[in-house]
Amino acid sequence: MLEINQIEKSYPKFHLGPVDLTLPEGYIMGLVGENGAGKSTLIYTIMNLLPPKSGEVSIFGMNYKENEVLIKEHIGFIYEQSSFYENLTPSSMARLLRLSYKNWDDATYRRLMEQFSIAEKPLKKLSKGQRATYHFIAALSHNARLLILDEPTSGLDPIVRRELLDELRRYVEPGNRSVLFSTHITSDLEQVADLITFIHKGQVLFSKDVEELRESYHVVKGAKEAIDTLPLLGKQSKRTHVQGLYEGERGDLADAQVELEPASLEDIMFFMKRGDEHEQIS
Amino acid sequence: MTILINNTSKTPVYQQIAVQIRQSMLKGELSEGEALPSVRSLSSDLGVSVITIKKAYDLLEDQGLVVTQAGRGTFVLEKNLDLVRDFKLKEIQDILAKAIDTAKSSGIKQDDVQEIFSLLWEENHAGN
Amino acid sequence: MSRFLKLEGQTIKEKGAIKKSLLILLFYYAIYMGFLVFFNSITPQSDVFFPTLSTLSLIPFLTTIFDDDNTSPLRRLLPSLPFTRSDIFLGRSMIKVFIWLSSLVISYLFSLLVGPFIDSAPKLPIVYIGIGFSFLFLTIEHLSIHLKGRVTTLIRGGLAGGLLGMSMSSGMYLFQGIRETFPSGYTFMFASLIVGILLTLINMRIYQRRAL
């Protein structure tokens, strides 16, 4: 569905890529990384809002040069909560969106508007959460085959977030739609993601499915002597123990005098960052 | 079929799912040739990645309990019958062991127990 | 592109922009007329009135129809909708041309209306100069398609103020100077149209290539 080949983008102080990414039909991929890692840049490139220095983006087997309108017809996009006309009300904005998208799905739009009780006020007068929810609803309401969401849940309270993520999983259930979801809220991804791509300083450190991830990364805890001998991706020393991230199979460390736990996404991000900083210092 | 997963358990979620489906099958809740829920609907329902569901189904397939046909779904295998029988036999064995225990500890003889067994078996037949 | 125009048309409708523009237009006219009446100093009006007014009339429409608040839909919303950058640019250009033609008509009629009082009814050369000058102004304003919403609004405001101020002081000399250089006015109009169109073509190339 979405294929990214060797995308690179250069800025004076930042370089993205080369990035390779594949998102098959029917899956939700989380794009995770700390602020400034390059998630938004990558997303803008995928949306053709930024031209890449090199590389290609292929969506539904097509490219932007030849099929820009057709592609965008089938993409639902959320980036920045303020991208709609602020002085218009949700209904006004919906009329405009209806004109823009051939496959507008009014039934879904109405259902979600009611479910989330969005007030009929000018968008700039809605709360941050309601605005974000509205953007989400709009993205889900035109039968888009690919949803590209850049931090769609920031500013939302946990309950609304959970409901929207549920909607997201419902959205891909038919099997012919996909979602690319960029965020630094790892718990969101743990709720819905099938695939995770981790970006750090403009590089993709890994792109794996959630089961592979669970099998590959473990948090290791033990006494300093035990931990120091192990090849870890990152470490943190506490008063009573040392902990770190191990990449490999659980069985590898069966003999070591350590405690093993499955690593959460946050753990992975945390330790990898530490490992990175440590390398830079030494 | 009820499936309950515990996200905080040490057992991986896919294993929990596979085990529970297997138990369902052995209890006879799922019949031969019956389709398991679609990967996607189960994923939605349990709030778990499709990858995880697929892994659970793969595990069941490895264990010879189901077969996945591309594009059509995952179905309970017929070979299953034997396993159900084995499972039930074990259940019966356990129940009988308990009965025997009770008898022995109260000093009741084997003949008495067997008489009760025959009577009950006849009753049950007649009832059917 | 027709779908894009439908979208913009509906947007204008949803914003109630036409009504708003006309009100602001009246306001501008009132200020200008008030000033003239008060100072009663600049005569004859025939050289200055129509060119100034036709250019001034553009501003209320441009401001209300394309007001972007903080959101810069040109940079954010529209490029992510199913339209090409060409659609967007050409669509917007067409709307502006339409605004321009409307401004010309409205200001011409108004000039005739108050003609008897301040001798503002323009003769043909002045009409040509007005057409040319306002077109140049429009194409320069159209460069703001690259700017962020807030900045554009400020610039338009500045231009409006500057224009009003100029028309009340040195405007007369400017237009008289043009008139003297191009007595028939026709050459000026022609040259302005060409320069304006070239500028817009360059503008278009830049917009099509540009990143966010």
Q: Give residue limits of the domains in chain B.
A: 13-78, 81-127
Domain limit, last residue, from A201, A223, A254: A201
Write down the H helix ranges in C44-185.
49-56, 58-65, 77-80, 85-113, 115-118, 124-141, 149-168, 171-181
Q: Amino acid letter at C195?
A: V
Same domain, A257 and A165: no
Give the model's confidence band at A261: pLDDT under 50 very low, under 70 low, under 90 confident, else very high: confident
B41–A173 CB contact, under 8 Å: yes
Q: Does A194 touch chain B (CB under 8 A)?
A: yes
Give strand ranges (E) for chain A: 2-11, 14-23, 28-32, 54-59, 75-79, 146-150, 178-183, 195-200, 203-209, 217-222, 234-237, 242-247, 259-262
Q: What pLDDT shows up at residue A67?
A: 87
Q: What pLDDT shows up at residue A281?
A: 64
Q: Are A17 and A7 in contact (CB under 8 A)?
A: yes
Structural domains of chain A, count: 2
**Which of A44, A82, A100 is facing C7, going by the closest CB pair?**
A100
Q: What is the CATH number of the domain that holds A63?
A: 3.40.50.300
Cα–Cα distance between C171 and A216 in angstroms, integer?
75
A231 to A96, A222, A227, A266: CA distances (angstroms): 56, 14, 8, 20
The tens place of each residue's pLDDT in chain B, 128 residues long, gives: 889 998 888 889 999 999 899 888 877 788 788 889 999 999 988 989 999 999 999 998 888 888 898 888 888 886 666 666 777 788 889 998 998 998 999 888 888 889 988 998 888 765 54
Site from A173, A177, A190, A191 to mutate, B interface, most B CB atoms within 10 angstroms: A173
Q: Which domain holds residue A159?
A: 2-201
Domain limit, last residue, from A154, A177, A201: A201
pLDDT tens, residue by residue, C39-64: 665 555 667 788 888 888 998 888 88
Q: Does A149 touch chain B (CB under 8 A)?
A: no
Q: How would you label A249-267 residue by residue, b for 16+ Cβ within 10 Å and e otherwise? A: eeeebeeeebebeebbbeb
Q: Which residue has the higher pLDDT, B82 or A44?
A: A44
Q: Are A88 and A122 in contact (CB under 8 A)?
A: yes
Same domain, A73 and A172: yes
Q: Which chain A residue has its CA at the smallest distance from C66's CA?
A: A85
Cα–Cα distance between A31 and A42 in angstroms, integer?
10
CB atoms within 10 A of CB B90: 11
A150 three-class SS? strand
Cα–Cα distance between C15 and C165 in angstroms, integer?
30
Q: Does C71 touch chain A (CB under 8 A)?
A: yes
Q: Which two tokens stand for residue C54?
A: 């036709």
A80–C81 CB contact, under 8 Å: no
B50–A26 CB contact, under 8 Å: yes
Residue A208 included in any domain: no
Q: How far is B110 from chain A (nearest CA, A)?
A: 51
Q: Are A49 and C79 in contact (CB under 8 A)?
A: yes
Q: Residues of chain C whose pLDDT is less than 70?
A: 39-46, 68-72, 74-75, 149, 168, 210-212
The CA angle C179-C183-C189, to the nearest 5 degrees, is 75
Same domain, A16 and A109: yes
Same domain, A158 and A252: no
Same domain, A184 and A259: no
Q: In the predicted model, what is the mean pLDDT of residues A235-243?
A: 89
pLDDT tens, residue by residue, A109-158: 999 999 999 999 998 899 888 988 999 999 999 999 999 998 888 888 89
Residue A7 included in any domain: yes
Q: Are B25 and B84 in contact (CB under 8 A)?
A: yes
Q: How far is C197 from chain A (nearest CA, A)?
A: 26
Residue A97 included in any domain: yes
Q: Which two tokens stand for residue B57?
A: 């189904």
Same domain, A88 and A194: yes
Residue A167 included in any domain: yes
Residue A207 included in any domain: no
User: Scanning the structure block, which residue is given the tokens 């041309």?
Assistant: C97
Same domain, A155 and A231: no
Residue A206 included in any domain: no
Same domain, A191 and A126: yes
Same domain, A72 and A10: yes
Q: Which chain C residue has its CA at the smallest distance from A70's CA?
A: C82
Q: What pLDDT shows up at residue C212?
A: 44
Strand order in the sheet with A14-23: A14-23, A2-11, A54-59
Q: Which two tokens stand for residue C114?
A: 């108050």
Same domain, A151 and A30: yes
Q: Does domain B13-78 have CATH number 3.90.650.10?
A: no
